[in-house]
Amino acid sequence: MAKKYRTIFIGTPEFAIPSLRALIADSDFEIIAAITQPDKKAGRKRILTPPPVKVEAEKNNIPVFQPEKIFLFLEEIKKMDPDVIVVAAYAQIVPKDMLEIPKHGCINVHGSLLPKYRGASCIQASILNGDKETGITIMKMDAGLDTGPIIHKESIEIEEHDTAGSLYGKLSKLGGKIIAPAIEGYIEGGIVPEPQDDSQSSYAPILKKDQGRIDWEKDAGYLEKFVRAMHPWPGAWTKTRSENKLLKITRVGHKILNINEHTVGQLFARNNGLAVQCGKGALEIKKMQIEGRNEMETDKFLIGHRDYVGILLK
């Protein structure tokens, strides 16, 4: 039986892999090409590394293209004559002219329950704002930023221990679960895309490294969510006032301590480990990392760093 839909898959990181695998496995889809970002240098040794989508596509003998700018690649896409283009975490703006190439349009796998959190840092925003749930939206793309009509969306619970990293993995898997049936339902007419309610929209812009800096004047409840939202990127970090050393806070306790007797930003001993005074309340620090060192649990960290008790962070 011939496959129905000539499909171009566009994506870059691990987030896109379950969706790509789902379409490869579905007999209705023929993946005629994968488009991804160019190889980049990664790690301390700056080794040239291919993006995960390239690796997965090549395993499955799918032709891979890596244009520096996708708008310069439109003529080649036209020649492929796709029925549908699927986009998942590509990290380039898809030009309007490309939306008009495939017969059934371009379909996006987005990591929030649209119209909430359009933009790049939607996973971090859902944690930082204390949401109880998030999810995946399958959307037909239009010229706006995540503004197209919704084909399907499905939610998952945000658990108290979830970080941006753990949610990333859960949402990635969810995207793979729902992408193929959503597209099939749309193309075959069983699903009619619904316009988004713009009045309910919000925007989560791309995060930069300096946005991970911790403001200890904030209350402990907010900072507990902040540490989880910033992990692993851009990371929640601070500096020691005396030595100006960079210090990453990688995990904190979920329970907010009703302690307000120390100077804001001061580390103090707590349960064989460390806690820090916030603007209101305090947080137990479970894991931390000094610049140039490995991440450590605070009880082990204190074995060689008792001098950190009482210091001030800024």
> The domain that contains 125 carries what CATH number?
3.40.50.170
Q: Are 39 and 51 in contact (CB under 8 A)?
A: yes
Please say if the pLDDT value at position 100 is more than 80.
yes
Q: Name the pLDDT band for 2 (thresholds 50, 70, 90).
A: low
pLDDT interval class at 118 (50, 70, 90): very high
Spell out the alpha helix ranges (H) of 100-193: 122-128, 164-187
Domain that holds residue 260: 209-308
Give the dihedral of Cα atoms 125, 129, 130, 133; nearest 10 deg. Answer: -50
0.75 exceeded by pTM: yes
Instruction: Give the dihedral sign, CA 40/44/46/50.
Output: negative
Q: Is the dihedral of CA 53, 58, 59, 61 positive or negative?
A: positive
Clarify whether residues 100 and 170 are in a common domain. Answer: yes
pLDDT at position 121 is 97
The answer to whether residues 196 and 285 belong to one domain is no
On the question of pLDDT at 1 being above 70, the answer is no
CA nearest neighbour of 35 among 16, 74, 72, 9: 9
Q: How many other CB atoms sit within 10 Å of the CB of residue 31?
A: 22
Q: Please, what's the largest Cα pairwise distance for the chain?
A: 72
Tally of structural domains, the chain: 2
177 and 254 in a single domain? The answer is no
> Residues 167, 262: one domain?
no
85 and 129 in a single domain? The answer is yes
141's CB contacts (< 8 A; 6+ apart) are: 87, 94, 99, 105, 106, 107, 108, 148
Predicted confidence (pLDDT) per residue in 147-176, tens digit: 999 999 999 999 999 999 999 999 999 999
For residue 314, is it within any domain?
no
Last residue of a domain, one of 200, 226, 260: 200
| Shared domain check, 188 and 214 | no
Flag whether 62 is in a domain: yes
Residues 215 and 270 in one domain: yes
Write out the H or E segment, with its range, that includes residue 23: helix 17-25
Is residue 161, in this structure, part of any structural domain at all? yes
Q: Are residues 135 and 227 in the same domain?
A: no
Output the six-digit token pair for 120: 């790049």
Q: What's the mean pLDDT in 292-311?
A: 92
